[in-house]
Amino acid sequence: MDTQTWIYLAVGGSFLLYFVIAIVSRAGSTEEFYVAGGGVGPVANGMATAADWMSAASFISMAGLIAFLGYNASPYLMGWTGGFVLLALLLAPYLRKFGSFTVPAFIGARYYSNVARTVAVICLIVASITYVIGQMKGVGVAFGRFLEVEFETGVLIGMFVVFFYAVLGGMKGITYTQIAQYIVLIFAFTVPAVFISIQLTGVPLPQIGLGSTMADGSGVFLLEKLDGVITELGFDKFTAPEHSTLNVFMLTLSLMIGTAGLPHVIIRFFTVRKVTDARKSVGWALFFIAILYTTAPAVGAMARLNLMETVQTGPVGEESSSLEYEQRPQWFKTWEGTGLLGFEDKNGDGRIQYYNDKNPEFQATADSYGWEGNEMVNVDRDIMVLANPEIAQLPAWVIALVAAGGVAAALSTAAGLLLAISSAISHDLLKSMLKPDISEKGELMAGRIAMTGSILVAGYLGINPPGFAAEVVALAFGLAASSLFPALLMGVFSKRMNREGAIAGMLAGLLATVTYIFIFKGMFFIPGTNLFPDDASAWFLGIQPESFGALGAAINFTVAFLVSRVTAEPPAEVRALVDDVRIPGALRQA
């Protein structure tokens, strides 16, 4: 059976499974649509949360980031996992005890204000829409290559699949679909990693293989060889830090508190039966996530090594001009068809010269080889995980498994984000403020209409993506970190925080972060509308836009604190609500 047939079977079989689950678990009430009826067990919820969390950014883009950034991608690993520790300790059990359908509902009640609730809805939509762009981009990348269709067609197919099981099943259908998607994506990520680790190092566990010697008997460690291969071509060492310590710290912190403030993750803890199950769910989610996140560094490093040795084989030096090269490997030609990989033969020798032509120290060496510029004119980082099995020449069924996994990762998170957006519109805006007398049937229909509209917007933004998935997702985390996380944290732990402080803090944090992103990334991330394109020297204190969420959160906290101190304290019943949410009943009575 050829590779394409395997891919059709794997992707088509996974779609069939998702459709069946959606039909069987169709939501019949608003409680089932918003929080799956509140009866999901902690293990199942942990697995669904892991799938909801491990998006296209985790499955597709993170290893691509590691492959090209090396050590400098470590904040993504630390921040995205560390955020779950914050969730377990600071938010999840308390928000579950409060009992709600949405994050804005908690903020509206805690800060006794529909204005606060509306601001929270705006923050939620801005962060979630930014996040969902990366998922739809991932869907287009996966479908474009593996179903051999145009990128735009791939996004449209993904929109249809999400529409079917998310609109029909709501949170109930999404939860059980995400459990299936987790199983698909974790096998798809780890199985190729095991094969490639054995190929390169002889060690079946990729986590150990990353620190092992090469299987060729040279005694050279894998990372040592990778450093040697890429530095000989003018690139920086894979293991060398590039950004300042402050920037790394701020990016890690931004991703951590952004994780703890993401609405589509938080609402998963409203679906469990009791408060203790919320904390257990976080623990299980972290366990399931760790399986992929501890594998990702090995996948990234091994993919980069395979890429360098496959595209430009042979030693770098004067003798390299006498070596015979295949014009382009078959996997390269295949991915060229997607438009995500491009080659231009600048010196007419029929071979690919892939090197850092921005490195002035290496330019003299390149000139001596007759190289006239880097000929890999387009390398989309999002292809690395998906192309890795083909580069390593793994069996066709493994390539098909990766295709199904990549699609599952993108669809699972897209569904969760779209549900968070539609819930905010139908429950927080329509039901709670604009039309309180709407029937449950009408609210359920409004939720499905809002979901449909969200899918259309997400599809448009996916077809016109602003960057590779992980970069856009990192910006979404910064927006959540600077707007929602401080309001949630102060809502649980500060009885003195009032509505004026919370509203001012959320607006200040969100506006500061959005402004900083617009200055360096452009209006709505449109290239050419940014004031300082590619000018890192203009960053404030050397802090990149993806790291600014932590500073935005500090602005939020500061403004909220100052405003709350010059305005009236919250009513007595609100202060009692904080005590009720945070302190167990028996302890409070004592």
What pLDDT, in 10s, does the model give residues 430-445?
Answer: 777 778 888 878 877 8
Confidence of residue 556 (pLDDT cuts 50, 70, 90): very high
Largest CA distance in the chain: 84
Supply the pLDDT for residue 466. 55
Calculate what percentage of the chain has a pLDDT beyond 90: 13
> Both tokens of residue 199?
């190929």
Supply the pLDDT for residue 226. 92
Taking residues 556-576, report their average pLDDT.
93
Supply the pLDDT for residue 200. 92
Contact 299, 388 (CB under 8 A): yes
> Both tokens of residue 447?
């939720």
Confidence of residue 56 (pLDDT cuts 50, 70, 90): low
Confidence of residue 317 (pLDDT cuts 50, 70, 90): very low
Highest mean pLDDT among 28-37, 53-62, 227-236: 227-236
Give dist(CA 123, CA 258) in Å, integer: 12
Q: Which residue in 175, 312, 124, 118 sits closest to 232, CA to CA?
A: 312
Q: Which residues lie below 8 Å from residue 67, measured CB to CB, with a gap of 6+? A: 300, 301, 303, 304, 307, 381, 384
Taking residues 365-383, report their average pLDDT.
82
Cα separation of the two ends of the chain: 70
Indicate whether 224 pLDDT > 80.
yes
Contact 214, 225 (CB under 8 A): yes
Q: Taking each helix axis from N to C terminus, what angle separates 396-423 and 3-24, rounded to the nearest 10 degrees?
A: 30
Query: In degrees to the nearest 10, what's the CA dihedral of 195, 197, 198, 203?
Result: -130
A 10 A CB-CB count for 187 gives 15
Indicate whether 213 pLDDT > 90.
yes
Give dist(CA 399, CA 192) in Å, integer: 8
Supply the pLDDT for residue 323. 37
Q: Which residues lie below 8 Å from residue 477, measured CB to CB, with a gap of 6+? A: 79, 127, 131, 254, 255, 258, 259, 262, 549
- Count Cα neighbours of 205 within 13 Å in the Cβ-side half-sphere: 6
Indicate whether 203 pLDDT > 60.
yes
Range(s) of the chain covered by CATH 1.20.1730.10: 3-303+387-589
Give dist(CA 23, CA 20) in Å, integer: 5
Q: Is the dihedral of CA 81, 44, 185, 454 positive or negative?
A: negative
Supply the pLDDT for residue 168. 67
- The CATH class for the domain spanning 3-303+387-589 reads mainly alpha
Convert the pLDDT of each residue in 251-304 to its tens digit. 888 888 888 888 877 878 778 888 788 888 888 888 998 898 899 999 999 989
> Both tokens of residue 67?
């492959």
Supply the pLDDT for residue 531. 60
Supply the pLDDT for residue 143. 72
Supply the pLDDT for residue 315. 40
Supply the pLDDT for residue 523. 53
> Both tokens of residue 481?
């970190």
Taking residues 374-384, report their average pLDDT.
80
Convert the pLDDT of each residue in 334-372 to its tens digit. 788 777 788 888 887 777 888 888 888 888 888 888 888
Supply the pLDDT for residue 320. 42
A 10 A CB-CB count for 540 gives 12
Tell me the DSSP string of 246-274: HHHHHHHHHHHHHHHH-HHHHGGGGSBSS
Supply the pLDDT for residue 472. 63
Supply the pLDDT for residue 37. 65
SS3 letters for 59-105? HHHHHHHHHHHHHHHHHHHHHHHHHHHHHHHHHHHHHHHHCCCCHHH
Supply the pLDDT for residue 426. 81
Taking residues 524-545, report their average pLDDT.
65
Provide the mean pLDDT of the chain.
80
Q: Which residues lie below 8 Å from residue 39, measured CB to CB, with a gap of 6+? A: 271, 273
Convert the pLDDT of each residue in 502-518 to its tens digit. 999 999 998 998 888 77
Taking residues 561-567, report their average pLDDT.
95
Supply the pLDDT for residue 210. 92
Calculate what percentage of the chain has a pLDDT beyond 70: 87
Confidence of residue 2 (pLDDT cuts 50, 70, 90): confident
